[in-house]
Amino acid sequence: MKLGILVNEGPFTHQASDSAYQFTKAALEKGHEIVRVFFYHDGVNNANKLSEPQSDDRNLVALWSELAQEHGVELTVCVAAATRRGIKDELLAAGFQISGLGQLVEAGIVGDRLVTFGD
């Protein structure tokens, strides 16, 4: 199945991006295709390479980057949501890119399912 993933929360206040990461990883392991992971609202904070969780905490930004590297998953951050939150190209962790909301709509169109994680 072709899946689009929408992440609407940042990595620390809500569990949504953890759940999205676990879901995406499990889907890939089951042989599903991920059209892209799209980060919106505070979800854009998942892309911030300056994020430094404490050493006994999981580092979700790094985990997303690993997922992109290992599986070629496209990680797309909404430009409008990112810009107002100060997430710019120079802050992006490996594997993330900034693009428009059209990429979210396109994921809905070409995917068999669009799965949302957030409030």
CA distance 76 to 97: 5
CA distance 52 to 80: 24
Comparing CB distances to another protein, the nearer of 6 and 34 is 6
User: Any catalytic annotation for residue 78?
Assistant: yes
In the complex, minimum distance from the CB of residue 39 to another protein, in angstroms, rounded to a whole number: 12
In the complex, minimum distance from the CB of residue 62 to another protein, in angstroms, rounded to a whole number: 26
Q: Looking at the DSSP assignment, which residues form a beta bridge with residue 7?
A: 39, 117
- H, E, C per residue of 7-23: ECCCCCCCCHHHHHHHH
Binding residues for another protein (CB under 8 A): 6, 8, 40-42, 80-81, 100-102, 104-106, 108-110, 114, 116, 119
Comparing CB distances to another protein, the nearer of 70 and 119 is 119
Active-site residue numbers? Answer: 78
